[in-house]
Amino acid sequence: MSSQSSSAVEVTPLPREAGSKVNFGASITGVNLNDLDDGSFEKIREAIYVHNVVVVKGQHDLLPTKQFELVHRLDPDAPAEHGFRTTEQGKKSTGILAKLKWYTIPGTAGVQLIGQGYQGDDHFGLKGITMNGVGHASFHADLLSEEDLAKGDTRFGIFHFDGIIYGSYPSRVTTLRSIRVPKGPLLTVRWDDGSGRTMKAQPGATAFISNSQLYGLLTDEEKKLVENSYWEPAPHPFSWTEGRKARSTGLGIAPGGQVLDLDKLPPWTPEKVFCFPMVWMNPVTGERGFQVRSEVVRKIYLRHSPFEEPHVIDDLEYIRNWLNNILDRIMAPEYVSIPAVEEGDVVMFNNWGVIHSAIECPASYGVRTGEYGRLFGEYSADNS
């Protein structure tokens, strides 16, 4: 039986900086994620969907097995494995996924070690691992110089929601426990799009943008269109899109680059190529959010009502420009949240309600260690 009470759980909205238009995010205290009673769990679940991003404080002793149990409890119908699959399956991945290091913590099916630098002699059975952080060079069309990076200038890597996409729906909730946080001066995140925009970021933090706020920036006519439209990714989408790059903001696709022909991809079946809505419904608040993973879209199906035959567009340059026009409306510092994290904090977010990006950090700032848990998502028509 749990020794804690749901009455001890406190949910507090995150502080906002002057000029910020961010309307999401909260911190949670008074909870031990190793020992959750039903009432405390329901408070946390509700907070995730009401606030979209929550920072659960003081979880230094959280066991990876308990982190996995919590993620599965949040999506009980999903398969009990990590949304990027196991270490062995990860090694067989292609495209950008093949560049990631895959270290599933033994005894868990869905918690993986992420970070930068030497991860210790023995991390819950993972021994002597040194990790290279995935920086913006893996994603961007144009790059910062090594000198700029060394002095603390940086970029958002790529804004995205979590999901392997092919044969899987996006995860409902992602959890990220900070174990070791890099130490150093605040980083300067650069837009490098001609706007001169920058913002400060804590080393080791993650950036978030609200899909419902993006939806709110659309015109009424655009809302009607996207509410009734849907999109289709390529099979093995990260292999298909590997020749293309993101813009310097980390949001939207840059001009140029090539996709692979479908017959050049690993074996695939049409049954595993799912179509996804453009607008996703929050299961607790009912809020609508515009969410499309722009780098993997192969077709869009546009219509203004559910009774209309969709206009199918497979011109990738048209799709790129159409999506970038929408995404540009939210890509400003006042809409980006970078919650402060301390060692022991667990960031949990509604993966159907926000997009997120890592922020590159110089190796000189030291080791980063995190535990990352999420599942393959289960989709319900009630939530689209």
**Would you write out the chain's pLDDT as a tens digit for each of its 384 residues?**
455 666 799 999 999 999 999 999 999 999 999 999 999 999 999 999 999 999 999 999 999 999 999 999 999 887 776 545 544 444 455 555 566 677 999 999 889 999 999 999 999 999 999 998 889 999 999 999 999 999 999 999 999 999 999 999 998 999 999 999 999 999 999 999 999 999 999 999 999 999 999 999 999 999 999 999 999 999 999 999 999 999 999 999 999 999 999 999 999 999 999 999 999 999 999 999 999 999 999 999 999 999 999 999 999 999 999 999 999 999 999 999 999 999 999 999 999 999 999 999 999 999 999 999 988 655 544 444
Give me the residue spans of the domains in the chain.
6-212+333-383, 217-327
Q: Which helix (H) or strand (E) holds 222?
A: helix 220-228
Which CATH code fits 6-212+333-383?
Answer: 3.60.130
Read off the tokens for 277: 């809505």
Name the phi and psi angles at 246, rounded to 5.
-85, 160
- Residue 78: per-residue pLDDT: 78
The residue assigned the tokens 């904090």 is 345
- Residue 110: per-residue pLDDT: 82
Using CA atoms, how far residue 242 sits from 44, 89, 142, 258, 267, in Å, is 37, 19, 15, 8, 17
- Residue 88: per-residue pLDDT: 47
Question: Residue 115 and residue 137: Cα distance in Å, rounded?
Answer: 17
Using CA atoms, how far residue 260 sits from 239, 298, 313, 331, in Å, is 7, 11, 18, 29
The whole-model pTM stands at 0.94
Which residues are CB-contacts of 272 (< 8 A; sequence separation ≥ 6)? 166, 167, 235
Residue 228: how many other CB atoms lie within 10 Å: 19
